[in-house]
Copies of this chain bind each other. A is one copy, B any other.
Protein backbone atom coordinates (compact mmCIF):
# COMPACT_ATOMS: atom_id res chain seq x y z
CA UNK A 1 0.00 0.00 0.00
CA UNK A 2 2.70 2.47 1.04
CA UNK A 3 4.46 2.41 -2.29
CA UNK A 4 1.30 2.64 -4.35
CA UNK A 5 -0.02 5.68 -2.49
CA UNK A 6 3.37 7.41 -2.67
CA UNK A 7 3.90 7.21 1.08
CA UNK A 8 7.41 6.75 2.39
CA UNK A 9 8.13 3.22 3.62
CA UNK A 10 9.53 4.59 6.91
CA UNK A 11 11.48 2.76 9.59
CA UNK A 12 10.93 -1.01 9.09
CA UNK A 13 10.85 -1.78 12.84
CA UNK A 14 8.29 0.94 13.47
CA UNK A 15 6.20 -0.20 10.51
CA UNK A 16 6.23 -3.78 11.77
CA UNK A 17 5.28 -2.67 15.30
CA UNK A 18 2.32 -0.76 13.87
CA UNK A 19 1.24 -3.70 11.67
CA UNK A 20 1.49 -6.13 14.61
CA UNK A 21 -0.60 -3.82 16.78
CA UNK A 22 -3.09 -3.37 13.94
CA UNK A 23 -3.49 -7.13 13.39
CA UNK A 24 -4.04 -7.69 17.10
CA UNK A 25 -6.56 -4.85 17.37
CA UNK A 26 -8.55 -5.79 14.24
CA UNK A 27 -8.68 -9.45 15.28
CA UNK A 28 -9.65 -8.70 18.90
CA UNK A 29 -12.02 -5.77 18.51
CA UNK A 30 -13.08 -6.03 14.87
CA UNK A 31 -12.68 -3.39 12.18
CA UNK A 32 -15.43 -1.12 13.47
CA UNK A 33 -14.26 -1.32 17.08
CA UNK A 34 -10.69 -0.35 16.23
CA UNK A 35 -9.27 3.18 15.91
CA UNK A 36 -5.97 4.40 14.48
CA UNK A 37 -5.47 6.18 17.79
CA UNK A 38 -5.69 2.91 19.75
CA UNK A 39 -3.36 1.09 17.35
CA UNK A 40 -0.84 3.94 17.65
CA UNK A 41 -1.03 3.74 21.45
CA UNK A 42 -0.48 -0.05 21.37
CA UNK A 43 2.53 0.40 19.07
CA UNK A 44 3.89 3.29 21.16
CA UNK A 45 3.87 5.81 18.30
CA UNK A 46 2.02 8.99 17.42
CA UNK A 47 -1.25 8.50 15.46
CA UNK A 48 0.04 10.96 12.85
CA UNK A 49 2.86 8.54 12.09
CA UNK A 50 0.37 5.72 11.47
CA UNK A 51 -1.52 7.94 9.02
CA UNK A 52 1.75 9.00 7.45
CA UNK A 53 2.92 5.41 6.88
CA UNK A 54 -0.37 3.70 6.01
CA UNK A 55 -3.06 6.27 5.20
CA UNK A 56 -6.57 5.73 6.56
CA UNK A 57 -8.01 2.84 8.58
CA UNK A 58 -9.11 0.92 5.45
CA UNK A 59 -5.61 1.14 4.00
CA UNK A 60 -3.99 0.12 7.29
CA UNK A 61 -6.34 -2.87 7.50
CA UNK A 62 -5.42 -4.03 3.97
CA UNK A 63 -1.72 -3.65 4.81
CA UNK A 64 -2.17 -5.57 8.09
CA UNK A 65 -4.01 -8.38 6.23
CA UNK A 66 -1.34 -8.36 3.50
CA UNK A 67 -4.33 -8.27 1.15
CA UNK A 68 -3.06 -8.89 -2.38
CA UNK A 69 -5.81 -6.73 -3.88
CA UNK A 70 -7.71 -3.64 -2.80
CA UNK A 71 -11.46 -4.26 -3.03
CA UNK A 72 -12.08 -0.54 -3.46
CA UNK A 73 -10.31 -0.73 -6.82
CA UNK A 74 -12.34 -3.73 -8.01
CA UNK A 75 -15.80 -3.02 -6.67
CA UNK A 76 -16.80 -0.11 -8.95
CA UNK A 77 -16.90 -2.54 -11.90
CA UNK A 78 -19.12 -4.90 -9.92
CA UNK A 79 -21.46 -2.15 -8.80
CA UNK A 80 -21.76 -0.39 -12.16
CA UNK A 81 -24.66 -1.69 -14.25
CA UNK A 82 -28.02 -3.26 -13.55
CA UNK A 83 -29.01 -4.52 -10.12
CA UNK A 84 -29.97 -7.96 -11.46
CA UNK A 85 -26.45 -8.51 -12.80
CA UNK A 86 -24.55 -7.80 -9.57
CA UNK A 87 -24.38 -11.51 -8.65
CA UNK A 88 -22.76 -12.49 -11.93
CA UNK A 89 -20.38 -9.53 -11.93
CA UNK A 90 -19.30 -10.27 -8.34
CA UNK A 91 -18.56 -13.91 -9.22
CA UNK A 92 -16.68 -12.82 -12.37
CA UNK A 93 -14.50 -10.43 -10.34
CA UNK A 94 -13.97 -12.96 -7.56
CA UNK A 95 -12.94 -15.77 -9.93
CA UNK A 96 -10.60 -13.48 -11.89
CA UNK A 97 -8.81 -12.34 -8.70
CA UNK A 98 -8.41 -15.91 -7.42
CA UNK A 99 -7.23 -17.10 -10.86
CA UNK A 100 -4.62 -14.29 -10.99
CA UNK A 101 -1.22 -14.32 -9.23
CA UNK A 102 -3.03 -12.68 -6.26
CA UNK A 103 -4.84 -15.99 -5.78
CA UNK A 104 -1.68 -17.55 -4.33
CA UNK A 105 -1.83 -15.09 -1.44
CA UNK A 106 -5.55 -15.83 -1.17
CA UNK A 107 -4.91 -19.55 -0.79
CA UNK A 108 -2.30 -18.87 1.90
CA UNK A 109 -4.75 -16.61 3.72
CA UNK A 110 -7.53 -19.19 3.48
CA UNK A 111 -5.25 -21.98 4.74
CA UNK A 112 -4.19 -19.82 7.65
CA UNK A 113 -7.77 -18.76 8.46
CA UNK A 114 -8.86 -22.37 8.74
CA UNK A 115 -6.14 -23.32 11.21
CA UNK A 116 -5.75 -20.04 13.06
CA UNK A 117 -8.57 -18.28 14.91
CA UNK A 118 -6.88 -14.87 14.56
CA UNK A 119 -6.53 -15.03 10.80
CA UNK A 120 -10.10 -16.31 10.60
CA UNK A 121 -11.28 -13.20 12.43
CA UNK A 122 -9.26 -10.93 10.15
CA UNK A 123 -10.61 -12.70 7.07
CA UNK A 124 -14.14 -12.36 8.44
CA UNK A 125 -13.64 -8.62 9.06
CA UNK A 126 -12.11 -8.20 5.61
CA UNK A 127 -15.02 -9.90 3.88
CA UNK A 128 -17.72 -8.13 5.82
CA UNK A 129 -16.34 -4.59 6.05
CA UNK A 130 -14.29 -4.30 2.86
CA UNK A 131 -16.37 -6.25 0.36
CA UNK A 132 -19.86 -7.35 1.34
CA UNK A 133 -20.98 -4.28 3.28
CA UNK A 134 -20.03 -2.08 0.33
CA UNK A 135 -21.95 -4.20 -2.16
CA UNK A 136 -25.03 -4.35 0.06
CA UNK A 137 -24.86 -0.61 0.86
CA UNK A 138 -24.78 0.13 -2.85
CA UNK A 139 -27.84 -2.09 -3.41
CA UNK A 140 -29.63 -0.18 -0.61
CA UNK A 141 -30.42 -3.40 1.24
CA UNK A 142 -32.23 -3.05 4.59
CA UNK A 143 -29.32 -2.82 7.09
CA UNK A 144 -31.01 -5.42 9.29
CA UNK A 145 -30.66 -7.95 6.43
CA UNK A 146 -27.06 -7.13 5.54
CA UNK A 147 -25.32 -9.58 7.92
CA UNK A 148 -27.32 -12.67 6.85
CA UNK A 149 -27.09 -11.85 3.15
CA UNK A 150 -23.38 -11.04 3.44
CA UNK A 151 -22.48 -14.20 5.30
CA UNK A 152 -24.40 -16.40 2.84
CA UNK A 153 -22.52 -14.76 -0.04
CA UNK A 154 -19.26 -15.39 1.81
CA UNK A 155 -20.17 -19.05 2.38
CA UNK A 156 -20.62 -19.65 -1.36
CA UNK A 157 -17.67 -17.58 -2.59
CA UNK A 158 -15.17 -18.90 -0.07
CA UNK A 159 -16.46 -22.43 -0.65
CA UNK A 160 -15.89 -21.92 -4.37
CA UNK A 161 -12.32 -20.68 -3.82
CA UNK A 162 -11.66 -23.61 -1.50
CA UNK A 163 -12.88 -26.23 -4.00
CA UNK A 164 -11.24 -24.57 -7.01
CA UNK A 165 -7.86 -23.69 -5.51
CA UNK A 166 -7.27 -25.79 -2.38
CA UNK A 167 -9.20 -29.08 -2.56
CA UNK A 168 -9.12 -28.86 -6.40
CA UNK A 169 -12.36 -30.71 -6.89
CA UNK A 170 -12.96 -31.27 -10.61
CA UNK A 171 -14.48 -29.94 -12.76
CA UNK A 172 -14.85 -26.80 -10.59
CA UNK A 173 -11.06 -26.69 -10.28
CA UNK A 174 -10.52 -26.17 -14.00
CA UNK A 175 -13.92 -24.91 -15.20
CA UNK A 176 -13.99 -21.88 -17.50
CA UNK A 177 -14.67 -18.72 -15.47
CA UNK A 178 -17.88 -18.10 -17.41
CA UNK A 179 -19.24 -21.53 -16.44
CA UNK A 180 -18.83 -20.56 -12.80
CA UNK A 181 -20.34 -17.12 -13.46
CA UNK A 182 -23.39 -18.75 -15.07
CA UNK A 183 -23.86 -21.32 -12.29
CA UNK A 184 -22.88 -19.39 -9.16
CA UNK A 185 -23.96 -15.88 -10.25
CA UNK A 186 -27.68 -16.56 -9.70
CA UNK A 187 -26.92 -17.99 -6.25
CA UNK A 188 -25.10 -14.81 -5.21
CA UNK A 189 -27.85 -12.67 -6.74
CA UNK A 190 -30.50 -14.49 -4.70
CA UNK A 191 -28.48 -14.12 -1.50
CA UNK A 192 -28.02 -10.39 -2.21
CA UNK A 193 -31.49 -9.37 -3.37
CA UNK A 194 -33.84 -12.39 -3.12
CA UNK A 195 -36.50 -12.91 -0.49
CA UNK A 196 -35.43 -13.86 3.05
CA UNK A 197 -37.37 -16.45 5.07
CA UNK A 198 -39.71 -15.42 7.90
Contact = CB atoms under 8 A, between A and B. Distances in A.
A196 interface: yes
Interface stretch (A10-18, A42-50, A96-104, A159-167): A159-167
Interface of A: 110-111, 113-115, 120, 123-124, 127-128, 147-148, 151-152, 154-160, 162-164, 166-173, 175, 178-179, 182-184, 186-187, 190-191, 196-198
A172 B155 contact: yes
A170 B127 CA distance: 12
Contacts of A168: 120, 124
A57 to B, nearest CB: 21
B162 A147 contact: no
Copies of the chain in the assembly: 2
Contacts of A197: 178-179, 182-183
Contacts of A164: 155
Q: Which 5 A-B pairs have the closest CB atoms?
A: A159-B159, A182-B197, A151-B172, A114-B114, A155-B163
A154 B159 CA distance: 8
Contacts of A198: 179, 182
22 contacts: A113-B167, A114-B114, A114-B115, A120-B167, A120-B168, A124-B168, A124-B169, A148-B179, A151-B169, A151-B170, A151-B172, A152-B183, A154-B163, A155-B172, A157-B159, A159-B159, A159-B160, A159-B162, A179-B197, A182-B198, A183-B197, A187-B187
B179 A154 contact: no
Scoring A156, A182, A186 by chain B CB atoms within 10 A of each residue's CB, the highest score goes to A156
Contacts of A124: 167-169
